[in-house]
Structure 1
Amino acid sequence: MADAPRSTVLVTGAGGRTGQIAYRKLKERSDRFVARGLVRTEESKEKIGGGDDVYVADIRDADRITPAVQGIDALIILTSAVPKMKPDFDPSKGGRPEFYYEDGSYPEQVDWIGQKNQIDAAKNAGVKHIVLVGSMGGTNPNHPLNSLGNGNILVWKRKAEQYLADSGIPYTIIRPGGLLDKEGGVRELIVGKDDELLQTDTKTIPRADVAEVCVQALQFEEAKFKAFDLASKPEGVGTLTKDFKALFSQITTRF
């Protein structure tokens, strides 16, 4: 039997904390994937190895995305607006820190317009599958994340998710809970819908596991045309998730 052709996959937001992991995972599986990355700055490009397969572009500028998506089979979208803490916060005085978004980097521009641009560019390039990482909490307009920097980040993420679901391109929408900088591949993963997991004790997940689910989603028909919440049990509790086909098969929600 001939070897299956390798899939060319672009990870956007490849300089980010989860994006770096997803990009690295694809590189490690070079028998199956040809990895590309998209980052916003030359500095980020250097940070992930600076190879010719890393493109530098601003996702808010639709035309700049086009070269990176030419000839790709799949796209993993890991771009996200990131709120910054105002520098004058003094924890010793109590109260909560205030956050802001830099000009031009509000969720509306990054999580909505930037993601819409990526979806449009991918569609024009004939991409066969888009994996989009959003966030849990999108069913609640009053979620505290929306008030950070007055950015309404979950509202705009949700709008981009809906745009992808309506695009006609096979998609997988992953909405992780709170992201942990912990080791991946050592927990039982849990899928849910409509933010039900937020009412439980299991509402966090290591970034490395989110990145792994992104890569696994590219390999199974069972992951296509589905949207789901994603969390993990604490390490040492439950059964380590190894069968991703079974995990995706549990999901019945298209949005």
Structure 2
Amino acid sequence: MVVASAAPCKVFITGAGGRTGRQVLQKLRSRPEEFQAQGLVRRKEQTDELGGEGLVVGDISNPDSYAKFLRSADKLVILTSAVPKMKERKDPAGPPEFYYEEGGMPEEVDWLGQKHQIDLAKEAGLQQVVLVSSMGGTDPNNRLNSIGNGNILVWKRKSEQYLTDSGMPYTIVHPGGLIDREGGKRELLVGKDDKLTSTGYRTVPRADVAEVVVQALVHKEALNKGLDLVSKPEGEGNPTTDFAALFNQTQAGL
């Protein structure tokens, strides 16, 4: 069921300058009768890259830099995430090593930064928080946790649990490996607790993740659910178009 609205829904997107965040912003802007989008970016030059209008420069570690904009929204989409950097290789034949920049550790970004956003959303009485996280969080030994000694999935999972415990209406999306391919061409699969990994399907286009986020904002079937998300290869199965049915394939809860 699509949630009807007389006036455009005001959506605040954090992480709007990222590769997935940009696509969410673009999709919302393409539907002005339904949405009024505003995005948080980290650097001034990103406002020019993204068209300027409706963009706020701020830092999630400093809630005062964006709080008034978040409070004026109806719904919040969280797309912020710590991003590891590759160290310069001393041995070209050796394995790559990674690190997180100062202030950009997963504990700071994926836990404390997201906690600030959830707290502000709750205080402001927002209608929904859509959090884009990652698959793999049920396994503390997942290899992603070893990157830069950041335990990124551990902190993401902590934030997810905080959101579900907050009492806020929520949707949590756990994408598989993100790929840069055209959206709308694949059959999407949803599941729980990383069980989709046993299907052999492990990736999903960013564009399809962005579409699922937008659809979660308008379908009641997405409320108070966490869902893992992957896709079949293009040409295998039928492209997903019925998102209410997709959301109905998962039960409530993280």
How high is the TM-score relative to the length of structure 2? Answer: 0.96
Between the aligned partners of 1:30 and 1:179, the Cα distance in structure 2 is 27
Q: Deviations over 1:8-59 (max 9, x none)?
A: 00111000000000000000011100011011111222221122x1111110
Which residue in 1 is equivalent to 2:88?
87
Between the aligned partners of 1:59 and 1:233, the Cα distance in structure 2 is 34
Q: Deviations over 1:169-210 (max 9, x none)?
A: 100000000000110011000001111112221110000000
What is the SS of the residue equivalent to 2:196?
helix
Look up the equivalent residue of 2:138 and give its one-letter code. Answer: T
Query: For structure 1, which runs of at least 5 residues remain unmatched after alignment?
Result: none
Within-5 A mapping of 1:79-228:
79-88=80-89, 91=92, 93=93, 95-228=94-227
Which residue in 1 is equivalent to 2:244?
245
Between the aligned partners of 1:3 and 1:194, the Cα distance in structure 2 is 33
What is the SS of the residue equivalent to 1:109?
helix
Within-5 A mapping of 1:44-59:
44-51=46-53, 53-59=54-60
How many residues of Structure 1 are paired with residues of Structure 2 in the alignment?
251
Between the aligned partners of 2:5 and 2:166, the Cα distance in structure 1 is 31
* Residues 193 and 3 (structure 1), Cα distance of their counterparts in 2 relative to 1, 3 Å cut: closer
Which residue in 2 is equivalent to 1:254?
253
Identity within the alignment, %:
59
Look up the equivalent residue of 2:176 and give its one-letter code. Answer: G
Between the aligned partners of 2:36 and 2:252, the Cα distance in structure 1 is 30
Between the aligned partners of 1:64 and 1:120, the Cα distance in structure 2 is 15
Give yes or no for contact 1:89–1:97 (8 Å, CA) kept in 2.
no
Between the aligned partners of 1:19 and 1:65, the Cα distance in structure 2 is 16
What is the SS of the residue equivalent to 2:172?
strand
What displacement does 1:4 show?
2.1
What displacement does 1:134 show?
0.5
Between the aligned partners of 1:227 and 1:13, the Cα distance in structure 2 is 20
What displacement does 1:154 show?
0.2
Within-5 A mapping of 1:4-43:
4-43=6-45
Between the aligned partners of 1:21 and 1:87, the Cα distance in structure 2 is 31
Between the aligned partners of 1:249 and 1:12, the Cα distance in structure 2 is 27
Query: For structure 2, which runs of at least 5 residues remain unmatched after alignment?
Result: none
* Residues 175 and 89 (structure 1), Cα distance of their counterparts in 2 relative to 1, 3 Å cut: farther
Look up the equivalent residue of 2:232 and give its one-letter code. Answer: K
Between the aligned partners of 2:141 and 2:153, the Cα distance in structure 1 is 10
Q: Deviations over 1:93-152 (max 9, x none)?
A: 2x3200000011000000000000111111112210000000000011010000000000
What displacement does 1:90 show?
5.2
* Residues 203 and 173 (structure 1), Cα distance of their counterparts in 2 relative to 1, 3 Å cut: same
Give yes or no for contact 2:133–2:175 (8 Å, CA) kept in 1.
yes
How high is the TM-score relative to the length of structure 1? Answer: 0.95
* Residues 104 and 226 (structure 1), Cα distance of their counterparts in 2 relative to 1, 3 Å cut: same
